[in-house]
Every structure is written in structure tokens, then in C-alpha cells.
Amino acid sequence: MIKSVLIVGLGGFIGTAIRYLVSRYFQLHMATLFPWGTFTVNIVGSFLIGILYGLSERGNLLTPEWRIFLTVGLCGGFTTFSTFSNDAFILLQSGEFLRFATYSGLSFFLGITAVFLGRFIIKAF
């Protein structure tokens, strides 16, 4: 159990650091109210988790340790529902109702689509 916690923690640390760098990049290079950093990491993370679970379902392509490191740890640390929720709240609070609806709707729809595509790609090969 302790080994699993350490594996997940290491993956989470790496995923969180990458999320910070991606979000920071968008903050520095895009002057917009739309939260592109959070949006990007959540869609990319959804695609990656789809690929990883697809690989996991194919058999012995990932050991249980690699699976929890990559899915729960790395992808879990990389994506963030709490930041998504805060960004959506800020858009609502600012009266940006169209941006709120676009951000929330696209995040949900594209997130699920990305998981599907990741799994579909793995099953197709």
C-alpha cells in the first residue's frame, strides 16, 4: 500500500508541475479571459487517460504500478476539476455568461470525446 501511495504521489508531482508550466505558458502568451491553460490540460489529460486505460485493457501492456503512476498520478495531477470549477465561477462572477457556457460545455463534451478517442485509437491497433 505504501509503495502504491508513493508511486501515485510521484506521478501526481510530475503531472502537477507540467500542469503549472502549461497554464503559465498560456497566461504569459494569451491575453484573454478564457482559461485556455486549464481547458488545454483537461482535454489533453482526458485524451491521455483514454489512451492509458485503453492500453491497460489490452492485456499486459502496463503493469499495475505503471497504470496507477500514469493514470491516477500523472493524469490526475495534470488535470484539475477544482481549477476548472474556479475558472468557471470567475467567468460567471464577471458576467461572462457566453464564455462560461462555451468553456463549461466544451470542457465536458471535448473531455469525454478525448477519452473516447484515446481508447478508440488503442482498440483500433
* Whole-number Å distance between alpha carbons of 4 and 121: 28
Q: Is residue 62 pLDDT above 90, yes or no?
A: no
Q: How far apart are CA 41 and CA 16, in angstroms?
A: 10
pLDDT at 86: 85
- In percent, the amount of the chain with pLDDT more than 70 equals 100
Query: Model-level pTM?
Result: 0.83
Q: What is the pLDDT of residues 10-27, one digit of tens each?
A: 999 999 999 999 999 998
pLDDT at position 80: 82
Residues contacting 105, CB < 8 A, separation 6+: none
What is the SS3 assignment for 50?
helix
**Calpha distance 119→101 (Å, rounded):** 27
pLDDT of residue 60: 78
Q: How confident is the model at residue 28 (pLDDT cuts 50, 70, 90)?
A: very high
Q: What is the mean pLDDT of residues 96-100?
A: 97
Exposure string (b/e) for 63-94, b if CB count within 10 Å is 16 or more? eeeebbbbbbbbbbbbbbeebbeebbeebeee
| Average pLDDT over the chain, rounded to an integer | 93
Residues 6+ apart with CB under 8 A from 37: 22, 23, 24, 25, 26, 27
Instruction: List pLDDT tens digits, range 36-56.
Output: 999 999 999 999 999 998 888
